[in-house]
Amino acid sequence: MNQYNQYKTMLQKAADINYASAVLQWDQETYMPENGASMRARQLATLAGYAHELSTDKHLGVLLNELIGDVKLDGQQQANIRHSLKDYKQRAKYPAAFVEEMSLAISKAFNSWHEAKTKNDFKLFQPDLEKLVDLKLREADLLGYKEHPYDALLDQYEHGLTVAQIKPLFADVRNQLVDFVKQITPMKVDSSFMHLHYPKNEQWDFGMKLLADMGYDFKAGRQDMSSHPFTTNFNSHDVRVTTRIDENNLHEMIWSTIHEGGHALYEQGLLLENYGLPMGEAVSLGIHESQSRLWENNVGRSLNYWKHYYPIIQKIFTSQLGNVDLNTFYKAMNEVKPSFIRTNADELTYHFHIMIRFEIEVQLMEQKVKVSELPELWNALYKEYLGIDVPSVSQGVLQDVHWSHGSLGYFPTYSIGSFYAAQFFASAKKQIPGLENQLATGNYSELLQWLRTNIHVHGKLYSADELCNRITGESLNFKYFMDYAKEKYLGMK
């Protein structure tokens, strides 16, 4: 077997193990009985150990170092080797003792975060978060960075992204979006009908239709229920989504279904022949999120979308929606209203939640703020950007699980995803004649095809910035999101 094929075989074996773990995790979140938890944790740990052995195998390192300059390889193969060597070198930077210390600190922090949130007492979490921040600073040093320690953390989720690139984006959010939200709120709409009783089975059937219409392939996936909706994939021919149904809140199922559907279409659009290789994987978390947000916001929250679906859903829920007209429904679906909880936020104020977390994380990594000062800083920033008084630490600084997982640098990818989505969608509108009409008649095949050819099939061939430039002719900027917001909310009747 030639060296490239040896490399491919090793990577695909590691993928087999990782995706087998993913099946077990999917099962854990959906169907596993309560008592299965402890043995499942053991099974996952064993598999993680095997996958780690394979991906840090010395022979793999030798192969990668020999293949990196091989001019006989084609462009895709060279890109695979480049990415794999980078990953390999990154993994090698972590001493085993550090990995163990981090993993222990995370499980401790996750438990104390949970308790602190339940008891509404930040002090229960504080020492464990201090420990994690300390480890994150050490991790940044291990990984190395040019300008800012936070860059090393960002790079793990969004390769190449830096503080210097995010700051101007959020400066635009601060300078443009904060005032814009003040200008359009409070919105005059009575959205109480969204919280009438919507029976589960009817909601489920409607959600399945939304997914099928988007082009989600049910022969290569399935939908189930879970308490936190997610998308997982075992290969591009088996991509699963979950949703959550609240019988007294119609928003919940609709947005989670379309959002996860957008993630899933990306995974289903990757090429099976690139299974287990970088060319068979998504570019980054930000680009992944651009796919879910494009479907959720630019498509799903548009008036065109509801021109098609409103008569359908109105027929299903006649007693709840029979007397509500399309415009009122559309406005209620898009109500902008500052709130405490990120995951319930509308598509505009959502970015203030992210901006706050970004500012805090940067200050933590600059050691300019102490963990003990976070509740106070959090509340001050919510007052400043959202104009609201945070009522408790449970609904404030403790609301998200991310920090207890040690995931610093993750939050910005959510906002980046929405901004990419707006920029991509503006290009799609220019490049697909009659797109608006297609959306208004429930026809998404051309849009999906456009996403497939421009984004999905490439895997990691292009970086996020290269991809954005190829599609839109410029790097990521905030202008498109702001234009989208203005056109939509100023045009609302």
Residue 275 structure tokens:
């299974």
Give the nearest distance from C-beta 289 to Zn ion in angstroms. Answer: 5
Choices 11-19, 286-294, 418-426, 477-485 (CB under 5 A): range interacting with Zn ion: 286-294
Shorter beta-carbon distance to Zn ion: residue 64 or 264: 264
Q: Which of 395, 154, 94 is nearest to 286 (CA)?
A: 154
- The verdict on 284 binding Zn ion (CB under 5 A) reads no
Three-state DSSP state, 372:
helix
**Omega within 30 of 0 (cis) for the link into 95:** no
Q: Which of 465, 402, 367 is nearest to 149 (CA)?
A: 367
- The verdict on 231 binding Zn ion (CB under 5 A) reads no
Shorter beta-carbon distance to Zn ion: residue 84 or 292: 292
- The verdict on 418 binding Zn ion (CB under 5 A) reads no
For Zn ion, which residue has the nearest CB?
292
Choices 119-127, 157-165, 267-275, 289-297 (CB under 5 A): range interacting with Zn ion: 289-297
Binding to Zn ion (CB under 5 A): which residues in 200-219?
none
Q: Taking a C-beta distance cutoff of 8 angstroms, is the pair 461, 284 a contact?
A: no
Shorter beta-carbon distance to Zn ion: residue 292 or 472: 292
Choices 19-27, 139-147, 285-293, 375-383 (CB under 5 A): range interacting with Zn ion: 285-293
H-helix or E-strand containing 6?
Answer: helix 3-30
Q: What are phi and psi of 240, to 5 degrees?
A: -105, 145
- The verdict on 415 binding Zn ion (CB under 5 A) reads no
Shorter beta-carbon distance to Zn ion: residue 233 or 292: 292
Q: Which value, to the nearest 10 degrees, does the dihedral of the CA atoms of residues 259, 427, 491, 444 take?
A: -50
- The verdict on 233 binding Zn ion (CB under 5 A) reads no
Q: Which long-range contacts (CB under 8 A, 24 or more apart) does 94-97 make?
A: 94/139, 94/142, 95/142
d(CA 165, CA 163): 5
Give the nearest distance from C-beta 135 to Zn ion in angstroms. Answer: 26
Q: Taking a C-beta distance cutoff of 8 angstroms, is the pair 346, 191 a contact?
A: no
Among 139, 252, 260, 267, the active-site one is 260
Shorter beta-carbon distance to Zn ion: residue 292 or 298: 292
CB contact set of 21 (below 8 Å; sequence gap of 6+): 44, 47, 48, 51
Per-residue contact track with Zn ion, 106 to 125, x per CB under 5 A?
Answer: --------------------
Give the nearest distance from C-beta 237 to Zn ion in angstroms. Answer: 21
Strands 238-243 and 231-235: antiparallel
- The verdict on 232 binding Zn ion (CB under 5 A) reads no
Give the nearest distance from C-beta 296 to Zn ion in angstroms. Answer: 8
Q: Which of 481, 424, 491, 493 is nearest to 176 (CA)?
A: 481
Q: What is the 8-class DSSP label of residue 456?
A: G
Strands 223-225 and 238-243: parallel
Among 191, 233, 292, 298, contact with Zn ion (rule: CB under 5 A)? 292
- The verdict on 413 binding Zn ion (CB under 5 A) reads no
Neighbours of 485 (CB within 10 A): 21
Residue type, 463: S
Active site residue 260: yes
Give the nearest distance from C-beta 263 to Zn ion in angstroms. Answer: 6
Q: Taking a C-beta distance cutoff of 8 angstroms, is the pair 285, 158 a contact?
A: yes
Give the nearest distance from C-beta 373 to Zn ion in angstroms. Answer: 30
State the number of binding residues for Zn ion (CB under 5 A).
1
**Rounded CA Rg of the chain:** 23
Shorter beta-carbon distance to Zn ion: residue 194 or 264: 264
Shorter beta-carbon distance to Zn ion: residue 292 or 415: 292
Choices 144-152, 287-295, 329-337, 374-382 (CB under 5 A): range interacting with Zn ion: 287-295
- The verdict on 243 binding Zn ion (CB under 5 A) reads no
Choices 288-296, 362-370, 382-390, 428-436 (CB under 5 A): range interacting with Zn ion: 288-296
Give the nearest distance from C-beta 452 to Zn ion in angstroms. Answer: 19
CB contact set of 381 (below 8 Å; sequence gap of 6+): 356, 359, 360
* Binding interface with Zn ion (CB under 5 A): 292
| Catalytic site positions | 260
